[in-house]
Amino acid sequence: MSSLNHRNPPFRAEHVGSFLRPDELLQVRHAWNDKKATDADLTAAEDKAVSQIVRLQQDLGFHGINDGEYRRHMFWGTFWSNLDGMEEIVGPDPEIFRAYVPDVAAFLEKNHKPGEAVVCTDKIRYSPAASKAHIEQIQYLQKILPKEKHDSIKLTIPAPTWYHLRYKEGKAYPKDVYKDDDEYFADVIAVFQKELLVLYDHGLRNVQIDDPNICYFCNSKMVEEFNNDPLNMIKADDLLAKYIDVYNKIMENVPQGLHVGIHLCRGNFVKSRHFTEGSYERIAVQLLEDLQVPTLYLEFDTEIAGGFGPLQHLPANKNVVLGVVSSEYPKLEDFDHTVARIYEAAQYIAKGSGKSEKESLNQVSVSPQCGFASHSSGNAVTWDDMVAKLKLVRRVADKIWPGEP
């Protein structure tokens, strides 16, 4: 990785990708699901809503413009399900899942069986069908934004580890297809390297990978249950190291000029549900020192994420986007307190690096802690709440870094 921080992107005022869907869009999507609206009806509603959310981002002074994930039902979209060797199935057998993985546990505890899942059935290979939705999302933004704004367009994509941790040992892929995780991830790495190259060739210069799974390793209860699972061949921290190695191998082939950030959170489901808790302290060295990506989007909005102490491990050549404004709860954070928290975080970065607080602030941006609608139904906040939160993020950035985007 370069010894210099990548900047603009990330911008001083950032968001994490998803926004509340307008009621009109939700109504059309529900009608489409019920076969009472056509594909053309849905596309027209999506186009209108995307154009509106783009204008809102611009009006509020944001520069990493995206489409609000308005063309998706869930934040991970359709990439994985359209890869060769992966298949979406309805009504999967609950026995294939690790019951102690926090999002799986949250559903099983309520006696909710998974409605669908994407599973490996054969060798995983890149398919143009997997890129189709991503490309269409980029191209519409390029169509409605002036050319000088194209380099800041942000696309969110799912994690390379997404369909691994949740499955029991031996269930993430057929053993007659891959003999072990190394073989499996070798193909996953190749697929993600290809996807990033394809997106780059279509003009994308700013990508955010969403990976809630990494935060599960902050949860001591999950780690203990993973380590006590007799089926598992390795310990939880060794699996985390493997996941980080997957990212690092993907980064080896990233095109020059493509900014890559990884967003971590502790769950963000319908009506503001989170799935896990725990400070980054458990994984700070592996996450901040070993993971070779330019930018990390980290949540710090409530006590479930712990304090800023782990930021002492942030190397001088990486950025951190501090998610200190909640996208899950309607109460608006206090402006002065939020500004003070950014300075507090910079003090921890400075303590670890030996730099000044002012120098450490150069590595920092501010954002909501997650998206406002990782699921299309959205969080337990109103449209006005969302706008107020975004305005606060911009105001905080302007206070600390006046004149910077």
Cα–Cα distance measured from residue 402 to residue 405, given in angstroms and rounded to the nearest whole number: 9
Cα–Cα distance measured from residue 20 to residue 43, given in angstroms and rounded to the nearest whole number: 17
Residue 12 lies in a domain: no
* Number of other residues whose CB lies within 10 A of the CB of residue 273: 15
CATH of the domain at 379: 3.20.20.210
Helix (H, G, I), strand (E, B) or coil at 295: strand
Beta strands in 75-176 (DSSP E): 84-90, 116-125, 155-158
Kindly report, residue by residue over 280-317, the tens digit of the pLDDT.
999 999 999 999 999 999 999 989 899 999 999 999 99
Tell me the pairing of strands 206-210 and 155-158.
parallel
Q: Which distant-in-sequence residues (6+ apart) come within 8 Å of 204 by Cβ?
A: 138, 153, 155, 258
How many distinct structural domains can be found in the chain? 1
Cα–Cα distance measured from residue 167 to residue 230, given in angstroms and rounded to the nearest whole number: 14
Residue 405 lies in a domain: no
Task: Using CA atoms of 10, 76, 291, 303 in order, give the dihedral in degrees to the nearest 10.
Answer: 80
Residue 209 DSSP one-character state: E
Residue 358 lies in a domain: yes
Q: What is the pLDDT of residue 110?
A: 67
Q: Residue 389 is encoded by which pair of tokens?
A: 């939160």
Residue 13 lies in a domain: no
Helix (H, G, I), strand (E, B) or coil at 400: helix
Residue written as token pair 């359209």: 82
Q: What is the pLDDT of residue 1?
A: 38
Residue 206 lies in a domain: yes
Q: What is the pLDDT of residue 21?
A: 97
Q: Residue 349 is encoded by which pair of tokens?
A: 């970065």
| CB-based contact 41:31 (threshold 8 Å) | yes
| Phi, psi values for residue 105, rounded to 5° | -60, -40
Residue 1 lies in a domain: no
Q: What is the pLDDT of residue 103?
A: 87
Q: Which distant-in-sequence residues (6+ apart) come within 8 Å of 224 by Cβ?
A: none
Torsion sign across C-alpha atoms 365, 369, 372, 376: positive
- Please list the ranges in the chain whose pLDDT falls under 50: 1-4
| CB-based contact 260:305 (threshold 8 Å) | no
Cα–Cα distance measured from residue 76 to residue 62, given in angstroms and rounded to the nearest whole number: 23
Q: Residue 308 is encoded by which pair of tokens?
A: 């800023």
| CB-based contact 357:375 (threshold 8 Å) | no
Kindly report, residue by residue over 230-281, the tens digit of the pLDDT.
999 999 999 999 999 999 999 999 999 999 999 999 877 767 677 789 999 9
Cα–Cα distance measured from residue 99 to residue 101, given in angstroms and rounded to the nearest whole number: 6
Residue 8 lies in a domain: no
Residue 393 lies in a domain: yes
Q: What is the pLDDT of residue 307?
A: 97
Q: Could you list the residue range(s) of the whole structural domain that residue 308 is in?
A: 23-400
Is the entire prediction scored with pTM above 0.85? yes
